[in-house]
Amino acid sequence: MSPLTGIHGHMVTAQNEIKESLKLIDIVVEVLDARIPISSQNPLIKKLAKDKSKIIVLNKSDLADKVITSYWKKYFNDRGIVCLDVNSADSNCIKKIIQAIKEQGEKVYLEKNKEKSQKIAIKPIYRVLIAGIPNVGKSTIINKIAGKQSANVGNKPGVTRKKQWIRVADNIDLLDTPGLLWPNLDDKNAGVKLALTGNIKQEILDVEELACLGIDMLCIDDKYQKMLQEKYKLEDEDFDMISYDTLEVIGKKRGCVVSGGNIDMTKAAICFLEDLKSGKIGNISLDLPDNTI
């Protein structure tokens, strides 16, 4: 198979598109899923945007573990990167992003012009690209910043059209097409976390296997195990067995029963995965700064 077909072909297209967009801009706003800031990061972005000013947005923070998100903010700030936790439905968060772009733009502008002795009278315009892997919330953020439904929610890679700029807050020009990055599917662990948070389709793995991996991941942390226990009214003994059996009990509590009283395990898995990714089990983060450094 030619390396330019299939998934690889899409990756090359996405990479070329983002390279073209990066030429035009001053600041990259990299959108990550707050629940998995490492697994939702594309490893290429560091290289592609190495001489751009960057802001990291930890989006969907309404679904993430607040304590872990504060660790992540510190993690990025300690490395000199501006990092915001965002729930894109909250207009204050959108204001925070605009403010951060202005501050960052000012820095870029001063840096660029520090050699020049004469002050330039024209107010500079900061050009911004919102980038990230699919489903992290890029289009939602662009729409909210633009204040209208201009970006295409759920747009597809490879479909090129004329790029347009959206003028925001006097001196920000936002590219209306997000920079689409490819998720890191080489790392199986990252793939599992991307599926558990709904950033990629859960069908990459067998749903029952994925649900079991999810239960195992939650049970590493006592706090998350307790959330699971409370959500499905589980007994302590329900955790003394392999996760497939725990899933069966969850299925029973969720009413995933077929005739004869047996548990429909596929249905149980789908119910559990839906509860997990939509935050119904609680605020859960799957990437922790201390075990990823």
Q: Closest CB to ligand GDP among 89 and 258?
A: 89
Looking at residues 56 to 75 of the shown chain, list those that interact with ligand GDP (rule: CB under 6 A): 59-60, 62-63
Residue with tokens 């942390």: 221
Selected range binding Mg ion among 89-97, 149-157, 181-189, 271-279, rule: CB under 5 A: 149-157
Which segments of 197-242 does DSSP mark as H helices, in order?
207-219, 222-231
Q: Which of 11, 18, 35, 137 binds ligand GDP (CB under 6 A)?
A: 137
Cα–Cα distance, 279 to 273 (Å, whole number): 10
Cα–Cα distance, 84 to 252 (Å, whole number): 40
Question: What distance, in Å, lies between the first and last C-alpha atoms of the chain?
Answer: 37
Cα–Cα distance, 238 to 240 (Å, whole number): 6
Query: Which residue type sits at 281?
Result: I
Looking at residues 155 to 194 of the shown chain, list those that interact with ligand GDP (rule: CB under 6 A): 178
Q: Which of 139, 143, 246, 285 binds Mg ion (CB under 5 A)?
A: 139
Q: Does 154 bind ligand GDP (CB under 6 A)?
A: yes
Q: Which two tokens stand for residue 25?
A: 């801009």
Total residue length of the chain: 293
Which segments of 160-199 does DSSP mark as H helices, in order?
188-196
Selected range binding Mg ion among 105-113, 147-155, 164-172, 213-221, rule: CB under 5 A: 147-155
CB of 258 to ligand GDP, least distance (A): 31
Q: Closest CB to ligand GDP among 76 and 248?
A: 76
CB of 278 to ligand GDP, least distance (A): 8
The footprint of Mg ion (CB under 5 A) covers 139, 155
